[in-house]
Structures are given as C-alpha cells and as structure tokens.
Structure 1
Amino acid sequence: MTVGTGGYVVERQELETFLTLAEELHFGRTAERLLLSQARVSQTLKKLERRIGAPLFERTSRVVRMSPLGRQLYEDLAPLHARMEAAVARAKDTARGVDGELNVGFLGSGAGTLTAPILAMFRERCPHVEVRMRETQFQDPLGALRGGDVDLLFTCLPVEEPDLTVGPVVINEPRMLAMPLGHPLAGRTSVSLEELAGETFFGVVNGAPAYWWDFHVPPRTPSGREIHRGRAVASFQELMTLVATGQGISPVVASVEKYYARPDVTFVPLRDVPSADVALIHRTAGVGARAEAFIRAVEDAIAANGGPAPY
C-alpha cells in the first residue's frame, strides 16, 4: 500500500511505522506492534524524515514527541489510512462472500452508545450477514460463548480464561453504589468502599468466575474489613428488585443507572474502586470470517469514536 504526498510516495512500512510511533510515542512498543526491531523502526523513520526534509518527532533519551510537522502529517494521514484499511477489509469480505448468521452476546448494556455505530458499520460491509443480539446474565457470563450459543460476546472485564481471548475495549465505566430510597447513604455526593463494612452486598448464582464477581462486588473493604454477602442473584433485574426492597445494596457499573433505572432505587458514585471495562470476547480457538469482519467493525467504530465510549 502506498500513499502519494506531493510527488513523494510513502511506502506501506514507512506509513505504518510513522502512524504507530505517533500513537505509541515509544520506539520499543512501536517495534513490538509492528514485529520489527527498534533499529528498523528508527531507520525507517529517519528515511521518511530525510525524504520529507524535516524532523517528524522530537526525541531525547527519555521522551518522544511529535514535532508540529509530525502532528500535521499524522492528522492528514491517519484518517486516509483508516479509510484505506476499511476499504481493503470490505473488499476482502465481499470477495469471500461473507454471509449467514452471526450471534453476538451482550451483558447489561452491551457496547452502550457504540452498539448502533458498530452494527451500522458491520451491516454496510457485510449486508448479507444477519446479526442476532442475545442477552446473557451474570449468573453465567461466559457460558453462552463457551457453549457456542454466541460467536462473540460483549461483557465486563476482567476475563482471565485461557480458552477465551479479550478483544477491543468498547466502554470504560465508573462505578456506582445502588441502594434503596431512604438508605442512610442516599443523597451523598460519593461513597467510599471503606464505609461499607457491615452493609450487605449480594452473592452470585454459581457460574460466574469468583475473581470476576469479587472485582465487581468486592467481599472486603480496601483495609480488609468484611462486607457481608446476602442472597445470590442471577440477573440485573433480580439484583435491582432486591436492592429496591431493602435486602442489600450493590456496586454496579454506571450504565446500570441509565439502562436499569427504577423509581425506588438511587445511585451514588463509588470511590476506592477501579473503573470497569467492557470488551469484545471471542474463543481463543479461532473465529470465522463473519466474526473477523465484526471484530474489524468494532475496532473501526472505536477509532472513529476517538476511543472507548465513557458508557
């Protein structure tokens, strides 16, 4: 692949090296992404700079920055490169005759606000593939993917399973505390997890990995004080009903307030806990042409959005 720039043709390796270094601002990480040596990355960049006639990066022993010219070139080339890559991907999909049915699982709000752009992009590229969205529950968040009921899955991280591969992150969400109206903590501007020793959270019906539930519903405060776990739950709707009826409170991702709101439950921002990511997961054993095309659509929708959606 080449790109013409005022009489000079940028070769594919020069283009990819420049764009990757502009994103990473680190020669080592750039080399890892491109499967090249750092020396080759440096040589390719110097060749490009010599032919353009000015430095594209300002580099010292500690830091790498784009020069004003480099920033200008990146802003000009990055959208063009993305369009070219998308065009090639669409051509490949058309040539392979990608068609049939693709089952995509989702937990909670799925890809959130990126869901519609992802589906629109995929349908434009693969008009003969029918996408079926299938909801999963946190009683067994990975079972549908493992069992082959879905080909791909949007679900909350962490996922640390050798038979499953974590793909692109689509959402980054802050955490909230769901509680019934009238709870002593209701109306606070925020709540610390450390304050919740003695409160009752919920367990989960067998099926979710213990580390996964512990991340989302911690069993202890940061100082190690125990947080009691009450009834086991299987779905968001069940969780919200138990919260509303005063049987406990629960950490949730912020999108729950938007997509599962009810008048008898209120939410307060929760401190002392990391934000939560939602990613696209697939079986490590491999994916077919339909799933590959969908993964590319997800990656391109994320790039067009400027990165993962807030939620």
Structure 2
Amino acid sequence: MDLKQLDCFLAVARELHFGRAAETLYMSQSSVSEAVKALERTLGGQLFDRTSRRVALTPLGEALRNGAGPAIIQLKATIEDCKRQASGKLRELKVGFIGGGFYELHQPFVTEFTAAHPEIKLEFVELTFATQYAAVSDGSVDAAFCRLPLGAAGLRHGPVIMRDQRMLCVPRDHPFIDTGLIDPELLSQVRLVRMVPGSVNQEWQDYHFPRHTPQGKPIGEGPVIRTIREAISAVSTGQGLIMLAKRAASYYATPQIAFVEIDLPAMPSALVWRTDDHRRILQEMDALLLRIARRYGIAPV
C-alpha cells in the first residue's frame, strides 16, 4: 500500500467515476483502476461496487474513506510543511474565498496575521460556487471564507463574520427595478440560475438558490453556473437571475445589470475548516478575523 493508491481511491470515492477521478489526478483511467485493484488486494475486499452505469462505495470503502481521508490530507500537509522548512521556505496556509473574499477585512487581516506569524505565508485561492466546500473537504485549501449554512458534511465554521443584505441581480431594464424592496413571492415570475448538481448539500442550495418562494410557489430554472461571473453573464443576457450579497454590488458592477433589495434573510459568512483539523493556527486565524470584523463594526452582535 502506498500514498498513490490511497490518492486514487479517495479521488474515485469523491467522483464516483473512474474517468473523472483520473482527470483530477492527471493519470490514465487504467492506472487509477489498477491502483484501486492493488489496494483492494492488500485489504482483502472490494472498495467499490462497479457496474456499467454506476460506481458506489461498499461498506469497506466507506470505512476506508472515513478513516483514511482526513489522515491522508493531514499527512500531505505535514510533508509539504517539512519540505518547505528543509528548503528554508516559510510554512504555507491556503485560504479559499468566493466573490470579494473578506472584502474590506482582507488588507488588515493579512497585515495583522503576517505580523503575528512571520513564519507563515498566506496564499489565497479563489473558489467557485461548485468548489467552495469541496476544496476544504479534500484539502485543496486549509480553510475558506464561505457563505453559510455549511454546504458539506465533515466541516465546521467559526462565528459569523459578516451578515449581508440579500440583493437580486437583474438586467438594467427589468421591471423589478421600479418595485422598491422586492417581495420574494415575485420570484415565481422569474428564473434563477442553478448550481452544479451535487456540489453542495440541499440546505445550502435551498438558502441561496431556492426552487420555491417562501409560500411554496415554484421558481423557474435558469442555466447551471459555477462562478459569479457566469451568473452575471446569464443575468445580462436574460437567461436567469441570481441573489448575491449587498457587498458584491460594488465588486461586480456591470453596465447591463442592477442590484435590488429582496425581502429575504441576510447572507451570513464565516471561516470554514474540517472538523478533524485541530491545528491551533486555524482557530487563531478565525479569532483574528472576528476581532477585526468587530473593530470595523461588521460582525453581527
């Protein structure tokens, strides 16, 4: 058994598709398949039920994913830290964000974190609607500033750092522009863009990309999008609308679109990391972010 075999297994466990797993690993599908078979021989049992139509984890596969996944992520992070230390480089923490990220908190956060931890280099990674939680789960980033509620299992979040008024992004000539505060029941008259299926849980989708109004009226379905820019493109061409945070209006100002307030609960955001990641540095990062948000009068009371 080696790390490559476990990497292949975990990729297939995430994708439930050997071809897609191979693409994420930049390997051939046959190599991934052989690595999984070798791991199965070592363990003495099947990790996946395979048919021509679907791939599913067996109970043995579930046990290995739940036990080995967090350990492999932690081991890789430790190995990378040691490599950087041996070469005289700073330790590195990858922080994911979507949209405007920390917005006005970004500069003071970086300045104060770097002053407190000069031995650590912060790297910021822009994520998408489809990857903001997956990137934390699979270890692509150490933590991410995400919109709540939590969109995947196995994660935790710190205190809410900011809570933004929800805005409906519409074309400049849309009749909603003249209605003032929008009644959410009017969403039954439009289409909202949709998430990539399976990229986040249903609770998150229902909060940010609802399929029904508060009174249960169906909302039309627009195109599937992955990024905020894709969503804004769909809005500007009349294919569908999207709800964004009020702060996003200044970051994504476009001549063809406008932002109007809608009478729905605000969008909360917080720092998110894995429940099995107990590194003190992540808790310190979260505490610092909250202190700065309170100083700026942003964090909700």
Give the TM-score range, shorter chain. Answer: 0.5 to 0.7
- Residue in structure 1 matched with residue 179 of structure 2 by the alignment: 188
SS in 2 for 1:221: coil
Which residue, 243, 253, 256 being the options, matches 2:245? 253
Given the alignment, which residue of 229, 232, 240 partners 2:224? 232
Q: With the length of structure 2 as denominator, give the TM-score of the two structures.
A: 0.66
Q: C-alpha distance in 2, partners of 1:175/1:209? A: 20
Residue pair 1:191, 1:269 contacting (<8 A) in 2 also:
yes
Q: Secondary structure in 2 aligned to 1:286?
A: coil
Matches within 5 A, 1:203-222: 203-206=194-197, 207-222=199-214
CA distance, structure 2, for counterparts of residue 154 and residue 120 of structure 1: 17
User: Percent identity, aligned pairs only?
Assistant: 28
The answer to whether the aligner puts 1:244 opposite 2:236 as a matched pair is: yes
How many residues align? The count is 212
Equivalents in 2 of 1:266, 1:307: separation in Å? Answer: 24
Q: Which amino acid aligns with 1:227?
A: I
Larger radius of gyration between Structure 1 and Structure 2 = 1
One of 163, 180, 203 as aligned partner of 1:172: 163
Aligned to 1:7: none
CA apart distance, 1:168:
2.3
Shift of 1:295: 2.3
Q: State how far apart, in whole Å, the 2-side matches of 1:101 and 1:239 are.
A: 32
Unaligned runs of 5+ in 2: 1-89
Give the superposition deviation at 1:150: 0.6
Contact 2:160 2:300 in 1 (8 A): no
Residue of structure 2 aligned with 1:121, choices 98, 112, 118: 112
User: What's the CA shift string for 1:119-161, capped at 9, x where partnerless?
Assistant: 1110110112110000110023201111111111101000164
Q: How far apart in 2 are the matches of 1:177 and 1:295?
A: 29
Whole-angstrom distance in 1 between the partners of 2:256 and 2:291: 39
The aligned counterpart of 2:123 is 132
Offset, 1:306: 4.1
Counterpart in 1 of 2:288?
Answer: 297
Give, in whole Å, the separation in 1 of the partners of 2:220 and 2:269. Answer: 27
Q: How far off its partner does 1:162 sit? A: 4.3
Aligned partners of 2:247 and 2:300: how far apart in 1?
Answer: 11
Residues 1-311 of structure 1 mapped to structure 2, 5 A cutoff = 100-159=91-150, 161-206=152-197, 207-271=199-263, 273-308=264-299
Per the normalisation by structure 1, the TM-score is: 0.64
Q: Structure 2: which amino acid aligns with 1:209? A: N
Render the CA deviation track for 1:90-137: whole Å, top value 9, x for unaligned.
xxxxxxxxx511100011122221122211110110112110000110
Q: Which has the higher strand share?
A: 1
Measured after TM superposition, the shift of residue 289 of structure 1 is 4.2
**How many angstroms apart in 2 are the aligned matches of 1:279 and 1:120?**
19
How far 1:236 sits from its partner (Å)? 0.2
